[in-house]
Structure 1
Amino acid sequence: MPKIVNLRTIRLPQRPKLVWVEIETDDGLTGLGETFRGAQAVEAVLHELVAPALLGRAAEHVTAITQELMGSYVGFNSSSAEVRAASAVDIALWDLAGKRAGVPVHVAMGGAMREQVPVYNTCAGYDFNTSQGARRSIGSLETSTGPYDDQLAFMRDAGALAESLLEEGYGAMKIWPFDDFALQSPHHITLADLNAGLEPFRKIRKAVGNRIEIMCELHSLWGARAAARICNALADFDVLWVEDPIAKMDNFSAVADLRRQTRAPICGGENLAGVKSFRDMLAADALDVVMVDLTWCGGITEARKIAALAEAYAKPLAPHDCTGPVALMAGLHLALHAPTAIYQEVVRASLASWYPEIVDRLPVIRNGVALAPTDPGLGTALLPQVRQSKGAAIRESRLSH
């Protein structure tokens, strides 16, 4: 069996929240993984804790390795640096497995339920969720940084943004106009602020009617009572879902209580890790839509189990990506495979700008759907110039002979 001989991490100063992982085997193959947030901490975990347990192991034993990393060895059953490290390793091992078998990851997982997956556009800017620092707040003097500066667009003219998306074939969009109000008072939203936050939804419906689905992201910023007020108001605009409405989405009873109070469907799960968390969330009857981030939950191995739970509870699944190109490819393979998957998240600003500077292949998106990748493994690899980038932090742990 091919053995793991090298674990390499790459970080770039212009994308400080991301870390890429390359796992090399002694038969010359390389698997690619990725995770985000706390990149330096994850890097340390990978080389100081994971590499000693990984080097010399047979790369084919993906389930055993991930079980060890997520359980008895360094995992803490939460979205910690340890679990993010395990997620990146697991994705890289699945990439290797697909390459060795000569098939795409979704085929290696057991085959596809569908040949294409609808996508929705998260209306972010070009650096959303990858640059360090606080959340972007749109000031009155701020100007657009490009044609796809969609966060500025939804705050300024959400109706025109919806028209732009429809012209490109997108049938769904996600926005978050309530965030700034939560920073002022997370446990109460005034009627004036509620009305202001609803304005983009009014503009969208006025401009395009029901020709586009709208999701609202609340970024886990609100207390339960304020979140209920927002959700009930959003229900009048027939939103497809309200995402991560309350702080501490792992408070499953509080999320379930909120769901009982509102007509708006509740989506959550991107910041949860491990199948046990999703089991408890679904057992509490807390969600209408299950969202999973493969770079946080434990990788493809855990995501398959979470997808099976979603199927068992008859809940639709929507893989997350507002982070990096490898997360997008991994999520797409899951969305192709999982029986209840309904959407794959994309960010057109990222697809049009920096994603192509990182990897050699991206999903083919036509008329609002992503087509199934046909190359072996994930179907993408880091471009050679990534390692050569100015300021790139590259670290390797090699098997000693």
Structure 2
Amino acid sequence: MSAITCIRTIRIDERPNLIWVEIDTDEGLTGLGEGFRGTQAIEAVIHEQLAPWLMGRDSRHIEAIARHMLTPTVGFNSSSAEVRGAAAIDMALWDLAGQRHGIPVHEALGGASRLEIPAYNTCAGYSYNSGGTRGGRVMGNRQIGAGDVSQGPYDDQLAFMRDAGALAESLVSEGYRAMKIWPFDIYAAATGGQMISLPDLKAGLAPFAKIRKAVGDDIEVMCELHSLWGSHAATRICRALEDYNVFWAEDPIGKMDDAAALADLRRATSTPICGSETLGGAVRFRDLLAAGALDVVMVDIDWCGGLTEARKIAALAEVYAKPLAPHDCTGPVALMAGLHLALHAPTAIYQEVVRATLSTWYRELVTELPVIENGMVKAPTAPGLGTALSPAVAQRPDAVVRAHG
């Protein structure tokens, strides 16, 4: 028996999109999980719906707990607050499992398929995606103007709009062999994403041309489309990207669970289609794969329902012979969880990272982060997820801490 004795949540005003959950057991262990976006709703789900049922239960029964938490009633067919709360709990249970047996989570999942995996750098800035609202959705919650100045050496979102070639050279010099940018986002608002003009298309392609001119084929380039586009505009963009041998176009249409629309797009272009961090539950991915709608499967541990569900999505990717690429533009704990999945899953090809956050505020929140050497992310060796919430986080004046038990 490894009974759950306390469930604790911590969030801070400075990073309102993040919430952490710590689960204590009668063994004296503490497991760590993380939720992202709508943290007050996640907090309510955890304390009002999940914690009362979980108290006293055996934390070893991860599959049974996951199935109960993801019971298909209202709110459980997407990346809802219910699913995100369940994901945070599930993540902590896997952390406990690894700690209990003295092994990393990738071993607890069934063993590693590899002990390192290539990283690609999402070219975001230092505060990317860390605000508490969806306002200013264009350019990843950051409106870049002519007067903006770089906030530091890794202000990569500004860099890819100003000089994508120099940015590519910087990444190659640090050992990265893949990068992701989203220069088309700023043109979506004019038509609600339903059309893109030829001048805007040409402007959006310019960073890709600069990257190829600067470093040639020394780096792979992914294009993020942030679910901003209708099918006609998305097709036009994806066809234009073919000239630059883009590795994938990610989340190209507004409804990434629309298997028919995605399959039509995939047939209309040779640019590979990647999706989707936004989806919850293995069934959504099954439907897309069965429809021939995806070339690359992207999964977010925070949003899909946790590691238990992500492992099933990875198995679907394997069955359909599709590569897997775990998402990270959320928080440091989900990054560690995604890394363990990427090390375990047979068809995983990349782990996403953001060097701007890895080098700054991620380090203020947790005790350990992934080690990247020459563009490769190394396997953690410590038991569990291999990281813990820094003790100072819960002591901050802007911290909101709630405990059940």
Shift of 1:59: 0.4
Q: Deviations over 1:95-123 (max 9, x none)?
A: 00000010000000110000100000000
1:200-211 matches, within 5 Å, as 200-211=207-218
Aligned: 1:117 with 2:117: yes
Aligned: 1:236 with 2:243: yes
Find the counterpart in structure 2 of residue 191 from structure 1.
Answer: 198
- Normalized against structure 2, the TM-score is what? 0.97
- Could you tell me whether the CA contact under 8 Å between 1:291 and 1:317 is conserved in 2? yes
Kindly provide the amino acid, as one letter, of the partner of residue 332 in structure 1.
L
Q: How many percent identity over aligned positions? A: 67
- Could you tell me whether the CA contact under 8 Å between 1:71 and 1:77 is conserved in 2? no
Q: Deviations over 1:213-239 (max 9, x none)?
A: 000000000000000000000111000
Aligned: 1:385 with 2:392: yes
Find the counterpart in structure 2 of residue 180 from structure 1.
Answer: 186
Find the counterpart in structure 2 of residue 289 from structure 1.
Answer: 296
Match 2:402 to one of 376, 395, 398 = 395
| Higher mean displacement: 83-92 or 128-137 | 128-137
Find the counterpart in structure 2 of residue 159 from structure 1.
Answer: 165
Kindly provide the amino acid, as one letter, of the partner of residue 395 in structure 2.
Q
In structure 1, distance between residues paired with 2:115 and 2:13:
37
In structure 2, distance between residues paired with 1:298 and 1:100:
22
Kindly provide the amino acid, as one letter, of the partner of residue 261 in structure 1.
A
Match 1:361 to one of 362, 368, 381 = 368
Shift of 1:143: 0.6
- Could you tell me whether the CA contact under 8 Å between 1:2 and 1:60 is conserved in 2? yes
SS in 2 for 1:236: helix
In structure 1, distance between residues paired with 2:21 and 2:43:
9
1:281-360 matches, within 5 Å, as 281-360=288-367
- Could you tell me whether the CA contact under 8 Å between 1:169 and 1:366 is conserved in 2? yes
Match 1:144 to one of 150, 154, 174 = 150
Aligned: 1:130 with 2:136: no
Q: Deviations over 1:365-397 (max 9, x none)?
A: 000000000000000000110011121011111
SS in 1 for 2:34: strand
In structure 2, distance between residues paired with 1:72 and 1:296:
16
Q: Deviations over 1:313-360 (max 9, x none)?
A: 000000000110001000000000000000000000000000110000
Match 1:221 to one of 228, 231, 252 = 228
In structure 1, distance between residues paired with 2:398 and 2:358:
23
Residues 378, 73 of structure 1: alpha-carbon distance in 2 compared, 3 angstrom cutoff: farther
- Normalized against structure 1, the TM-score is what? 0.98
Kindly provide the amino acid, as one letter, of the partner of residue 322 in structure 1.
C
Kindly provide the amino acid, as one letter, of the partner of residue 48 in structure 1.
E
In structure 2, distance between residues paired with 1:75 and 1:33:
21
Q: Deviations over 1:150-170 (max 9, x none)?
A: 000000000000000000000
In structure 1, distance between residues paired with 2:104 and 2:161:
39
SS in 2 for 1:174: strand
Aligned: 1:25 with 2:46: no
- Could you tell me whether the CA contact under 8 Å between 1:267 and 1:291 is conserved in 2? yes
Residues 53, 74 of structure 1: alpha-carbon distance in 2 compared, 3 angstrom cutoff: farther
Kindly provide the amino acid, as one letter, of the partner of residue 25 in structure 2.
T
In structure 2, distance between residues paired with 1:20 and 1:87:
11
- Could you tell me whether the CA contact under 8 Å between 1:69 and 1:75 is conserved in 2? no
In structure 2, distance between residues paired with 1:53 and 1:67:
13
Kindly provide the amino acid, as one letter, of the partner of residue 222 in structure 2.
M
In structure 1, distance between residues paired with 2:14 and 2:345:
34
Kindly provide the amino acid, as one letter, of the partner of residue 305 in structure 1.
K
Number of positions where the alignment pairs a residue of Structure 1 with one of Structure 2: 398
In structure 1, distance between residues paired with 2:335 and 2:146:
33
Shift of 1:250: 0.9
Kindly provide the amino acid, as one letter, of the partner of residue 69 in structure 2.
L
In structure 2, distance between residues paired with 1:374 and 1:140:
45
Kindly provide the amino acid, as one letter, of the partner of residue 324 in structure 1.
G
Kindly provide the amino acid, as one letter, of the partner of residue 267 in structure 1.
C
Q: What's the RMSD between the two structures over aligned residues?
A: 0.9
In structure 2, distance between residues paired with 1:389 and 1:125:
24
Shift of 1:77: 2.1
Shift of 1:26: 1.2
Q: Deviations over 1:22-76 (max 9, x none)?
A: 1111111000000111011100110000111111100000000000001157761
Find the counterpart in structure 2 of residue 106 from structure 1.
Answer: 106
